[in-house]
Amino acid sequence: MSTARTDDRGPQEGSKGLVAFAWTLVGIPLVYGLYNTVKAASALFTG
């Protein structure tokens, strides 16, 4: 077995844009769902 480890010395610059894009893509529906659920849940305190 190889003894030299592939140590993570931090992400490459180019990958940061892709990470931001990926998080935005999953974040938008998540925020949409959260907003609608909080709106529905608020009826518990106002309805």
Partner 1 sequence: MAVPSFLARERIVAKPGFNRWLIPPAALAVHLSIGQAYATSVYKVALVEHFNASLTEIGIIFSLAIVMLGVSAALFGTWVDKNGPRAAMATAAVFWSAGFIVGSLGIFTNQLWLVYLGYGVLGGIGLGIGYISPVSTLIKWFPDRPGLATGMAIMGFGGGAMVASPLSRQLMNWYDDDYTGAAGEVASGNSVGFLFLTLGLVYLVFMLFGAFIVRVPAADWRPHGFDPATVKQKSLVTTENVSANNAIKTPQFWLLWTVLFCNVTAGIGILEQAAPMIQDFFREGGTSAVAAAAAAGFVGLLSLFNMAGRFVWSSTSDYIGRKPIYMVYLGVGIVLYIGLATIGSSAVWLFVALAAVIISFYGGGFATVPAYLRDLFGTYQVGAIHGRLLTAWAAAGIAGPLIINGILDMQGEPGNLVASDYRPALFIMVGILAVGFVANLLIKPVAEKYFEPKPTDVPEAASTTGDRSLTR
**Least distance from C-beta 21 to partner 1, angstroms?**
9
Rg (the chain; Cα; Å): 20
For partner 1, what does the binding mask look like between residues 1 and 40, x meaning CB under 8 A? xx-xxxxxxxxx--xx-xx--xx-xx--xx-xxx-xxx-x
Tokens 């990470």 sit on residue: 19
**Least distance from C-beta 14 to partner 1, angstroms?**
9
Tokens 């949409």 sit on residue: 32
Cα–Cα distance measured from residue 13 to residue 27, given in angstroms and rounded to the nearest whole number: 22
- Chain residues in the site for partner 1 (CB under 8 A): 1-2, 4-12, 15-16, 18-19, 22-23, 25-26, 29-30, 32-34, 36-38, 40-45, 47
